[in-house]
Structure 1
Amino acid sequence: MKVSNPYGIVGSIYANYIIQSISLIVIMQFSLALSQQLDTDLVGIGYVASGIGIGKILLMFVGGILSDKYGRKPFIFIGMTCYASFYIGMLFCTDIHVAFFLAILVGAGNSFLDTGSMPALTENFPRAAGTASVLIKAFISIGTLILPFIVAFIYSNELWFGWAFMGFLAFLAINALLLLPKKFPSKNTVIAGSASAEGDTNYFIGKPNMFLEGVCLIIMGFTTTATFAIIMQWMPEIAKQAVGMEMTEASKLISYYSIGSIISVFFTAYIVKKHVKPLYCIIILPLLSGLILLMFLFNISPLMCKIVAFGMGFTAAGGVLQLTLVVMQQLFPSRKGFAVGIVYTLSGFSFIVIPLIVPTLALTDVRYVIVLNMLIAFASVLLASIVYFRFKKVIDMKKI
């Protein structure tokens, strides 16, 4: 059977990432409606949302191994099925523990979708693998951009939140029907690239240490994700509690965040390709995030909420995690699979920890949430600085 047009396959994959990004924040965006249906409070909703991280952590390694063995398409569909099950279940769920299990399905869907889709993108466009991969972030940002408007429409018209969930289900069903007849390229497709990308490691002048710079980069999987996850999930709540912003207006802050993220995706892709090494970006971008949060701490106002939402989208959500992974793959080129698995596992761990810590801080004083995020951002800077000094000792910078 002839391989299908790659644009059709990739179009469906990108469409799935719109739903993926919506699914990661939909619990917090509909926190008011869901807390009423589940008969719980903000801390309880945080507990439910933490299930997403558990699903991501438990299945990221498994999904990667099975995707390599059985191909990409089945795991894309498994991921879509997990998301569909979550939306169907939440329509009828009234028990917080069942909701927690349904949130685990979101994390599982995230893992399966990533482990099927990311390799499929590069296999469909082996000579433009980098561009195909970085565009994922743009479609993720589209989802977080449009969801606040959907939420605002539902609340302002006093509609049942389930109508939005059924809309997401319809989106998944249509995309599944479009993707079903597509024939994917071989999972053994060779990715074209430069000599170094194909395994030429003669840029080493020393031996990298997995237990020093490797561990720093692994921990950055957590810190770089937590930095944007706090803003992505909790910025509306910060605005409501700190400056009394109306719910519909507070929800729209995520759109400012998404616009910043979309702009950053293309800006970062350009400067990394033309001017700045990924190594420098993983120091500079978290530093800017930390400084933005420091300014926010001393000037919490409606205008500043919008500026911070955009700024954090630009500095924290435009690809720092992906660039961290690139640096780790440069240092450990023979362990690329391990790098993806462990960094993304720590990334998923942040989705467990943050929803469990942040609600308690928010109920005490939302400034504590800002302080926590600032400290996490500066921790990324410290870790990246250690990596920088080790990188220069073991790699010839002129050859990277």
Structure 2
Amino acid sequence: MNNNNNNSYSIAGSIYANYIIESIALIVIMQFSEEISAQLNTDLVGVGFVASGIGFGKILLMFAGGILSDKFGRKPFILMGMFCYIIFFSGILFCHNITFAFYLAMFIGAGNSFLDTGSMPALTECFPRSAGTASVLIKAFISMGTLVLPFIVTIFHTYHLWYGYAFLFFIACIILNLLLLAPRKFPSKNTVICGNEGNNDYFIGKPNIFFEGILLIIMGFTTTATFVIILQWLPAIAEKGIGMDQMEAKQLISYYSTASIISVFTTAYIVKKFIKPIFCIIILPLLSVLTLLIFLFNLNPTMSLIAAIGMGLTAAGGVLQLTLVVMQQLFPDRKGFAVGTMYTLSGLSFIVIPLIVPKLAMTNVSYAILVDLVVALSSVILGSIVYSRFKKVVDMKKI
């Protein structure tokens, strides 16, 4: 039993390490936008086009990855995801064509798809009694990557270093983790999520995949888009719309990420001890709505900092992962399908946001924040409807 526990912790350690790299890959194009735009001979909108390739790569493969993960197991997809990141980080160094860069960015999305469809179910299978906590902790490691990267960018700018050295370091980290993960034996893909007391017979009715299932899948888009707008575009909004210094604007993401890490560990503890995931997917988006509402009517550098921290605490505190846990609780025999469909919609946000937010922000910075507010409010409404169905089909005392 002890060996099984050690094996589970080892697998989880490698998965969490992968999420640090994944989070860096998701924003590295925008963080090194000056260097990459100069290399590709383009502007900020052109870099936004390249970044949108992430979403295309994600949605093209996420659904199929989820179905195939249920069929063939989790490990092959995690390893494929790691190879995709190696292809991007190495390929972009030699790329001078914006179209080719777009295709390379698709490998970030593909890696994201394979990693998520393998890792999310694998974590719940490694820790079936703590699925909510294990899933939420992913956000802590995602936030570590987004916390560290702005500091790396600042150092590279200060000392005029070639950005490729950072990319080569990321490649080395992935290869080392790949060597550690490859020999590990994964738990059965048929493991069912249990309640805290070990109950897995908590149903009192039959969940409807075509109602609450579809609403949860749509929440894959709304919960992701809420933080993607802040994660990718808050620095640009602060710099272009509010007049902050460029480096100060980029550092907002570090404050966002620090708040996110605090929120994740707090949320993980609360979910394990006090509040069920189904309540969190309503409460956290509601707090995001309040933060964005205050920001919308107070556009200044101080409020930009408060908004970065507030959105880190609420939107980036693991809402997407908790929404996924709720779907896996409702449909335990379709864990890969749940990841595949929900994260396909999550990937769609990485296409839509880079294509519409830059234009909105350049017209009027308030429009970009208003869009985020509407999206966050949509999550609150959808989560509330899901809750009304959830309590009818699940015995709340057993989960």
Query: Normalised by the size of structure 1, how large is the TM-score?
Result: 0.91
Shift of 1:90: 0.8
Deviation of residue 39 (structure 1)?
1.5
Query: SS of 2:17's equivalent?
Result: helix
Residue segments in structure 1 that go unaligned for 5+ positions in a row: none
- Report the AA paired with residue 149 of structure 1: F
CA distance in 1, matches of 2:362, 2:27: 19
Aligned ranges for residues 4-19 of structure 1 at < 5 Å? 5-19=7-21
Q: What percent identity do the matched residue pairs reach?
A: 66
- Name whichever of 278-287 and 139-148 sits farther off: 278-287
Other-structure match for 2:244: 245
Aligned-partner Cα distance in 2 for 1:386–1:165: 44
Deviation track 1:303-358 (CA, whole Å, cap 9, x = no partner) reads 21111111101100111112222333344455444333211111111111111111
- Structure 1 Cα separation of the partners of residues 353 and 72 of structure 2: 34
Match of residue 122 from structure 2? 120
2:178 — aligned with what? 176
- One-letter amino acid matched to 1:73: K
Change (3 A) 1:192 1:226: closer
Structure 2 residue aligned with 1:58: 60
Distance in 2 separating the partners of 1:214 and 1:191 = 18
- Determine the C-alpha separation between the residues in 2 that align with 1:188 and 1:202: 21
Match of 1:80 in 2: 82
- Matching residue within 95, 110, 133 for 1:131: 133
Distance 2:64 2:278 in 1: 29
Letter in structure 2 aligned against 1:176? L
The answer as to whether partners of 1:126 and 1:189 remain within 8 angstroms in 2 is no
Which residue does 1:99 correspond to in 2?
101
Q: Which amino acid aligns with 1:283?
A: I
Q: Does the alignment pair 1:47 with 2:57?
A: no
The reply to whether residue 365 of structure 1 matches residue 364 of structure 2 is: yes
**Per-residue deviation, 1:197:** 7.0
Shift of 1:73: 3.2
**Distance (whole Å) between structure 1 residues aligned to residue 395 and residue 8 of structure 2:** 37
Tell me the C-alpha RMSD between the 2 structures: 2.5
Aligned AA for 2:346?
Answer: S
CA distance in 2, matches of 1:62, 1:198: 31
Residues 1-400 of structure 1 aligned to structure 2 (within 5 Å): 5-125=7-127, 128-180=130-182, 182-188=183-189, 190=191, 193-194=194-195, 199-204=200-205, 208-400=207-399
- CA deviation map 1:35-73 (0-9, x unaligned): 111122222111111111111111123223433444433
What is the identity, as a one-letter code, of the residue corresponding to 2:35?
A
- The aligned length equals 396
Q: CA deviation at 1:118?
A: 2.8
Alpha-carbon distance in 1 for matches of 2:361, 2:130: 43
* 3-state SS, counterpart of residue 368 of structure 2: helix
Q: Structure 2 CA distance, aligned partners of 1:126 and 1:219?
A: 25
Q: Give 1:122 deviation, angstroms.
A: 4.0
Given the two structures, how large is their TM-score scaled by the length of structure 2?
A: 0.91
Residue type of the alignment partner of 2:46 = G
**97-106 or 37-46, which deviates more:** 37-46
SS, match of residue 151 in structure 1? helix
